[in-house]
Amino acid sequence: MKKQISLVLAAATVCSTLSAGAAAPVFAGDEVSFTIFNSKSELEEYLEEAAEEYGEENDVDIEVYYSQDTVSSHLATRYASKNPYTLNMVDAKDIYTIGAQYGLDLSDQDWVKDTDYAISTDGKVIGFPFCIEARGLLYNADAISKITGEEFDPDSIKTLDDYEAFLQKLVDGGMELPTGILKPDWSLAAHFLQQVYEEREDPEAFIQDLYAGKVDLMKDEKFNALMDFFDVQMKYNMFKDAAISVEDAQVHQALAEGEDAFQFGGCWEWNDIIDFDYTGHIGIMPVPQNLEDAYTGSIVGGGSKFFYIDNSENTTPEQQQAAEKFLDWLVYSEDGQTLISDTCAVVSPFRNNDVTCANDIGAEVKKYADAGKMVPNYDHDPDDHYPIVGASMQKYLAGQIDRKELAKEVEDYWKNVKPAE
């Protein structure tokens, strides 16, 4: 089902020259030239093709670049060499740091009124939201129906007790172990444990209390409610004998092909799931907890990737204007809307885009977003949060530490880390 795109870049020489640190693109006659930095690897081929087609139709030359390096360090290198990209796709936290320093004020752009996900710093709109991503409990409705003989209704599971009883029903029906757990540090810490910070009235105040060493996680209702859920996932994990050695592809395949029924994850995993013999009807639902609060019935998410336009002395006004027009095209043209929702299969953050998301999980995320049932992301963790806290979560998953020890390691991390800017 994946769209396969083959693209030969005509400006290979220019690419290699820019990689070596040459000056930013210049004008070729009346044609303006600008660069795009892409930090989402699975979109590279789609953005390259879109840039080529858009460029031909609008008399502009666009080159798209991708790097596996950390976004902040990669862009710092480009700025140090006075060779910044014109249009930069970054994470939200990078907008507050790099974007705040170098970003063009986009407050006067028409698209600002059509989204709730733009990022502002110092009263100026800097971040253009490219897509919404959300996380929750993924489920394979077809695999479930095959066992129960009934259409699966995720709304029927309100609490963790409901969820565990349902898992036992699947076991009794012949699905030996109905859950799967992704083991990477980013999944365990940046996505799952992150909800401990996000699902509360004032996440920033809670984080500041963590920095100050004032939080006892073992007495925190949200931490315990989420870890109770995680314990249930571990109990029924079909990969429990290889919990921290199982490959991501195995976990995705099990859900895609209906070997198990549930795993925690997000809409970005769509392309991994459809790599296999996808049964269809993979959906997303809130993480069930035995704690009823303002976040019950909601998934967690928000703007995932953001563009900012460079406003340094190394980018010309003509290049900035060309980049602004490209962003307008993404929002208001039929081709741009289709690129986002269908070709890239991500969730559009713009209300005027009614192109159905080609990502089944994303299409459900859009419903939660439109219904206001989405808890906002917390985007201000220190850069080393997920590798360090993720390692602690991996030890817990492997049975090497208990919950009390996990809580202490998380608390110790926050007490001894430098606060994010």
- Which of these, 340, 341, 344, 346, lies nearest to 327 by C-alpha position? 340
User: What stretch of H or E contains 299?
Assistant: strand 299-309
pLDDT band, very low/low/confident/very high, at 280 (cuts 50, 70, 90): confident
| C-alpha distance from residue 350 to each of 13, 81, 116, 247, 252 (Å) | 37, 35, 8, 35, 29
Mean pLDDT, rounded, for 224-241: 98
Give CA–CA dist 130/275, Å, rounded: 24
Cβ neighbours for 21, distance < 8 A, ≥ 6 positions apart:
81, 83
Query: Which amino acid is it at 182?
Result: L
Domains and CATH numbers, the chain: 12-133+302-363 (3.40.190.10), 134-301+373-416 (3.40.190.10)
Instruction: Name 265's bridge partners.
Output: 136
Supply the DSSP symbol for 292: -
- pTM for this predicted structure: 0.81
pLDDT band, very low/low/confident/very high, at 420 (cuts 50, 70, 90): confident
Tokens standing for 183? Answer: 């083991």
Give CA–CA dist 307/329, Å, rounded: 14
Say which residue the tokens 């990209």 belong to.
85
Mean pLDDT, rounded, for 91-110: 95
**Exposure b/e, 185-215, CB count within 10 A at least 16 = b:** bebbbbbbbbbbbbbbeebeebbeebbeeeb
pLDDT band, very low/low/confident/very high, at 371 (cuts 50, 70, 90): confident
276: pLDDT strictly greater than 70: yes
Give me the half-sphere count of Cα atoms (radius 13 Å) on the Cβ side of residue 153: 4
Cβ neighbours for 162, distance < 8 A, ≥ 6 positions apart:
156, 288
Give CA–CA dist 239/236, Å, rounded: 9
401: pLDDT strictly greater than 80: yes
Q: Where are the alpha helices (DSSP H) in 95-179?
A: 100-102, 141-148, 160-172
pLDDT at residue number 200:
96
Tokens standing for 166? Answer: 């349902």
pLDDT band, very low/low/confident/very high, at 41 (cuts 50, 70, 90): confident
pLDDT band, very low/low/confident/very high, at 379 (cuts 50, 70, 90): confident
- Which of these, 90, 83, 115, lies nearest to 18 by C-alpha position? 83
Tokens standing for 387? Answer: 């590798």
Q: For 157, list phi and psi in degrees, rounded to 5.
A: -100, 105
Lowest mean pLDDT among 119-128, 325-334, 357-366, 399-408: 357-366
pLDDT at residue number 13:
32
pLDDT digits (tens, 9 = 90+) for 11-39: 333 333 333 343 344 444 468 999 999 99
